[in-house]
Structure formats: C-alpha cells, structure tokens
Chains A and B, each alone.
Chain A
Amino acid sequence: MIVNGFKDLGLPLMNIVKLRGTPILQQLVLEERLLRSSFENWCIINDGTNVPTIVMGMSGKPCELVELEPVVKDGIPVIKRFTGGGTVIVDESTVFVSLICNRDDVPNVQPYPRSVMAWSGSLYSHVFNGISGFQLRENDYVFGDRKFGGNAQSITRNRWIHHTSFLWDYNENNMAYLKLPSRVPQYRLERDHTDFVCRMKDYIERSVFIEKTINAVGTQFLLKELSLDEIDDSRREHLESTRLLTMDELKESLANTSRIKSIAQAV
C-alpha cells in the first residue's frame, strides 16, 4: 500500500466514468459541460449507444455529409457536436472513449491538435501493443490502411478534450446514410466507407480493450471511478453548442438540395 502511495505521488487525478448504452447526445452534452465548466480531468467510456445516430463535427453541413432522403425517411437522428472533425454513424456496436484534461496536468502536450493527437496516439499504442498494424495515420486510428477509430478535439484556453468513436462493429446498411466527404485523408484513396473501415472486434476483445484503455490512462493519472449520478455538472456558464438537428431543419436542407439539383438540371 505504501509503495502504491509513493507511486501515486505527483500524478494528477482522473475521474473515470463508465457508461453503457447512454444516448450519444447525452454523452456529448455532458462532455461539453465538463470541458467548459469543470476543473477536473475526466475519462468517459460509453460502451455502445442506444440508437443509430449520425454525429457531425462543428462545421458540418447535412447536405454535404449526409444522404438526406433516407435519413429523413428513416428518422435517423443527426447531431452537431462541439468538437471538430468529420461525420460518423454510431450505434450499440460503437465504443466511445473521451479524455478531458487540464493543460497543466499533461505538461508535455501543447494545446494544439497535433500535439494532443501525438499524446493520444502514444496512449493507444500501449492499448494495442502486440496488434500488428496499429498506428495513428493522418489523424485516424488504423490497423494497416483501415480506419477503426475516428477522433475529434476541442481546445480551450486551459483544457482540451480528445474523444474517439471506436468501430467495435458496424452495420454496413448504416454506412449508406453517409456521403463521401469532400475532405478525406490521402491514405483513403477513393475507397468507399466499407472498404476504408474495419471492425475492431477482429483484433481485440471488447472488454479487454476497455480494461487496457483504463490501465493505459492509469499510467499517467491517479484514477477515481465515479457514476453518472455523482457528476456535478451544474455549472453551466457556457453556451452549449452540441445539439440535435430538428426534422424540419433536415427536411429544409433536403428541399434546398432538391431545388438546386432541379435548377442545375434545367440549366
């Protein structure tokens, strides 16, 4: 016990919150609140979300990123999140890991995206140690040339979040709701979604991944587990930007897209 006590001296505290099946909107809203209004470090792990949901980055436009007609027809929720990055469709087979850190508690990391990702890439290299082909490649987590984890970040004056949706498994039909984005990494070449991504379950057990992630975080932080109920996120001095797009917004976007197509065809 004394040895452990000495080992833990000097390590910053990290609150670990383990969720299962929590709606992704609820998770993202919580993360934005904790980033903006908490002074503590947080690791949130959500083992799957409850319904298939499309999640776009801060600057995402539905007409450019989403196949609006089937999305509207099938009533797929579309969320705009507070971090940057691209568009994903998540469901019960997605494992989410989010790390919210005080800049001062990770002093070797500069508050810029590439520095944060270099740190996270190193952390996950411990998780996937022994699995051939793992790397952070052009800002994606890949096995070889196939992406299995999409990540994004938000950086404030003194804190940052790096969060990842890991494709434990995925439904190929769901991928059809997403368009090929205009900005793609070079290594993607011109592959469509199903040729570009891979399933994490083919490489590591789900529970092993979660356990190894927690262990990897524990090499840099002193861990304290909290339940959702124990989180005090009552301080809300910031404007919340994460939101669910309304069906009216999606229908209007679809109508505008159709109008533009008709005009283009007429011309």
Chain B
Amino acid sequence: MASRLLWASRVASHLRISVAQRGFASAVLKDLKYADSHEWVKIEGNKATFGITDHAQDHLGDVVYVELPEVGHSVSQGKSFGAVESVKATSDINSPVSGTVFEVNEKLTESPGLVNSSPYEQGWIVKVELSDAGEAEKLMDSDKYSKFCEEEDAKH
C-alpha cells in the first residue's frame, strides 16, 4: 500500500495535480472528475481523456484484454463504449462524458496490464472531443468519489 501511495504521488507530481490521501484505500487523484461507474476523466478545454479508476482496476483483477472503440466512434455519457476482460469476465467501460473519439491508447492492445499498473497515466483508454462541456458538472470531484468508494465497499 505504501508503494501504491508513492506511485500515486509520482503520477500526481508528473500531472501537476495533488493526491487525496485515502490511507489504505485506492488512489484518487484531485483535479480529475469521476463517474459512479468508476471511470475518471481529465478535461482540457474541449478535449477529455479517460480511463478506469484505481478502485475499479483493483476490484477487477488482472486485465488481460481491452476492447477499444474505433476512432470517430461517438460516446454518450453513462453508456458503454468498450470493455475490459479480467478473471473470466468482460466488464463494460462506460463513458463519463459525451463526444467523439479522436484517439485510443493502442498500447493497451499489447499491454492491457497498464490499466492495472498505471490506471491514471499510461493506462488511459480514450481521448474524446467533447460534445457537451456542461456534462462534467454531473460528475463527482475527488472528495465525493473517495466517499462514494468507501460507502460502496462498506456495504459488502
């Protein structure tokens, strides 16, 4: 766990954002937005990068395959656009925002484990051009997402 916090700090330092310390829980990065289906999104102007959170990758187990959308594919907030495979299961990845895919992380085809080892950095999944910047208001900030994860885990 200490190594995970150290990793999160290094990522945050590289991205020039701060880390929410959650003790022994999964890493959550400030300045990202989060969906209740455990995807993160970084918005820069009218473009967004997203992937799945540390909480999600930890619960999924070793990712062995990532089904990526095509460039040009339209994604809608809350709807599935791809999937990850882990531990005999395909799990939907849901889009935290709406837009058009302009880049996918091709490295995930050969190295799907990047989703586990570096969910917020090298494990990013898609980049989209936003169709509705206002949608981000519906997402959680890091504090709300941290609490959301704690409450979810506490129920089980």
Contact = CB atoms under 8 A, between A and B. Distances in A.
Interface of A: 57-59, 82-86, 107-117, 139, 151-157, 183
Interface of B: 37, 59-61, 64-65, 67, 78, 80, 83, 85-92, 94, 152, 155-156
A153 B156 contact: no
A41 B106 CA distance: 36
Nearest to B78: A157
Given A108-B156, A110-B156, A156-B80, A57 B67 contact: no
A110 B59 contact: yes
26 contacts: A58-B65, A58-B83, A59-B64, A59-B67, A59-B85, A82-B90, A83-B89, A83-B90, A84-B86, A84-B88, A85-B88, A85-B89, A109-B156, A110-B152, A112-B60, A112-B89, A113-B86, A113-B91, A114-B59, A114-B87, A115-B59, A116-B89, A117-B87, A117-B88, A157-B37, A157-B80
A113 B83 contact: no
Given A59-B65, A110-B59, A154 B156 contact: no
Main secondary structure on B side of the interface with A? strand
Contacts, number: 76
Contacts of A157: 37, 78, 80, 92, 94
10 closest Cβ contacts across the A-B interface?
Answer: A85-B88, A59-B65, A113-B89, A153-B89, A113-B87, A112-B59, A84-B85, A155-B91, A84-B90, A84-B89
Contacts of B59: 110, 112, 114-115
Contacts of A108: 156
Nearest to B35: A157
A138 B51 CA distance: 28
A155 B64 contact: no
A256 B65 CA distance: 22
A14 B37 CA distance: 25
Nearest to B88: A85
Contacts of B85: 57-59, 84
B90 A154 contact: yes
B24 to A, nearest CB: 18
Nearest to B112: A59
A246 to B, nearest CB: 21
Contacts of B88: 57, 83-86, 113, 117, 139, 151-153
